[in-house]
Amino acid sequence: MGEIERKPPTEVIIEASIINTSPEKKHSFSINNAAEPYPSSILTRLHAGYFRISLSVGGQAMLWKILTEPNGTVSQDVWQLFLKVPSSVCLVLWCLAILTQISLSFVYILRCFFHFHLVKAEFVHHIGVNYFYAPWISWLILLQSAPTLFPNTSIYYLVLCWIFIVPLAMLDIKIYGQWFTTEKRFLSIMANPTSQISVIGNFVAARAAAKMGWKESAICMWSLGVVHYLVLFVTLYQRLSGGNSLPLILRPTFFLFIAAPSMASLAWNSITGAFDTTSKMLFFFSVFLFMSLACRPSLFKKSMRKFNVAWWAYSFPLTFLAMAAAEYAQEVKGHVATVLMLVLSALSVLVFLGLMMLAAVNTDQLLGKTDPIVSFSDNQKSST
């Protein structure tokens, strides 16, 4: 009887140990094997959203070019002070911007070769697809902010402008076409603040074309951008049911509401040659949107807990607004316009410098495991 009582518990313990331990070992082995290569390579972490950095640096170069450009109508002491800024400052900013853009472009090209499946995943993602505009916008901004050593009448400028505008037009045909022809990608479903990057690209392209004297092409790109901006803004404003929500970590992209009308104002100014009523209306609207966001810091409180690449969405929209304010101040020549330009320009520079220092100190977080685009699906699962 004693022997019979001992055998069953012995067998149960052995069977339980075999059942419990073997799957754990297999499971932990497979996780480690799958997880080790993922964080080890920068190619798997750097997505198109990182071009927000080059957009911010290029925007600063463009802002200072506008502020330091000689203007025959300038008579105020403030503008005379800007004209005394050494041209080397603009050249250093432009060189930093082009170095950043070339570095990001090189890494992203390698990502396309070695991890094309990740690039494809970005393109089908309702947020990630919008950042495919960012590299081409950055190149166009660099082209427009280039020093006077590279005149916009040269054949090289013309060829480069076409090279950077054509991909934007192709993306427009693809994405705008999906908004009203593909049922699963209707605008009411896909719309989010990052969707405004597409219209910003059209406005930047329109300004570049206008600077070269291509007035008809500039009007074409501007009209394409402004029509889709109106539709997109109304869609986002109404928050139609069924639309994809935005994760908290991407709340800084709300500042793109400022960038679109600001760049539209700058583009129309370049097309008409004057900061007329249309440009002023768009500028005032962007100022109103900026004040609306600035009065609601609680909207961004949770997204500011940990530094990440999404924070760069604060910088270049403010820079675009400061550029529009500079053009407005040159046209109006009033004290209020000058003060507004100085405040917005100073704020833009301070935000840019702050982000540069944070990026230098928190490099591990900037290229960390947390990906704002990939984490969206995780947030959706946890919320449901």
DSSP alpha helices (H): ranges in 46-133? 51-68, 77-83, 87-114, 116-124
- Mapped onto helix, strand or coil, the DSSP state of residue 57 is helix
- Asked if 372 contacts 247 with a C-beta cutoff of 8 angstroms, the reply is yes
Residues in contact with 9: Cβ distance below 8 Å, sequence separation at least 6, in sequence order: none
Residue of 233, 181, 227, 171 lying closest to 201 (CA atoms): 171
Residue 38 has pLDDT above 50, yes or no: no
Three-point CA angle 322, 340, 236, nearest 5°: 55
Does a structural domain hold residue 37? no
pLDDT in tens, 347-384: 999 999 999 998 888 877 776 555 555 444 334 334 43
Per-residue model confidence (pLDDT) at position 151:
66
Per-residue model confidence (pLDDT) at position 42:
80
Does a structural domain hold residue 28? no
Per-residue model confidence (pLDDT) at position 121:
86
| Mean pLDDT, residues 51-64 | 92
Tokens of 203: 């406005």
pLDDT in tens, 227-259: 999 988 988 887 744 445 677 888 889 999 999
Residue 71 has pLDDT above 80, yes or no: no
Q: At 211, is the pLDDT very low, low, confident or very high (cuts 50, 70, 90)?
A: confident
Comparing 182 with 64, which gets the higher pLDDT?
64
Does a structural domain hold residue 18? no
- Asked if 236 contacts 296 with a C-beta cutoff of 8 angstroms, the reply is no
Per-residue model confidence (pLDDT) at position 373:
57
CA distance linking residue 244 with residue 191, whole number of Å: 7
Does a structural domain hold residue 359? yes
| Mean pLDDT, residues 101-112 | 92
Give the domain extent around 360: 42-383
| Mean pLDDT, residues 66-92 | 70
CATH number at residue 114: 1.50.10.150
- Asked if 268 contacts 226 with a C-beta cutoff of 8 angstroms, the reply is no
CA distance linking residue 162 with residue 157, whole number of Å: 9
Does a structural domain hold residue 206? yes
- Asked if 172 contacts 118 with a C-beta cutoff of 8 angstroms, the reply is no
With tokens 């002491």, the residue in question is: 77
Does a structural domain hold residue 30? no
The fraction of the chain above a pLDDT of 70, given in percent, is 78
Domain count for the chain, please give it: 1
pTM: 0.82
pLDDT in tens, 295-342: 988 888 888 888 888 899 999 999 999 999 999 988 887 888 888 999
DSSP alpha helices (H): ranges in the chain? 2-35, 37-40, 51-68, 77-83, 87-114, 116-124, 134-144, 155-181, 187-190, 196-211, 215-238, 256-272, 277-294, 315-332, 335-361, 363-366, 375-383
Does a structural domain hold residue 20? no
Q: Measure Cα distances from 87 to 25, 138, 148, 296, 341 in Å.
A: 64, 21, 10, 38, 20
CA distance linking residue 173 with residue 185, whole number of Å: 14
Tokens of 22: 């073997």
Does a structural domain hold residue 22? no
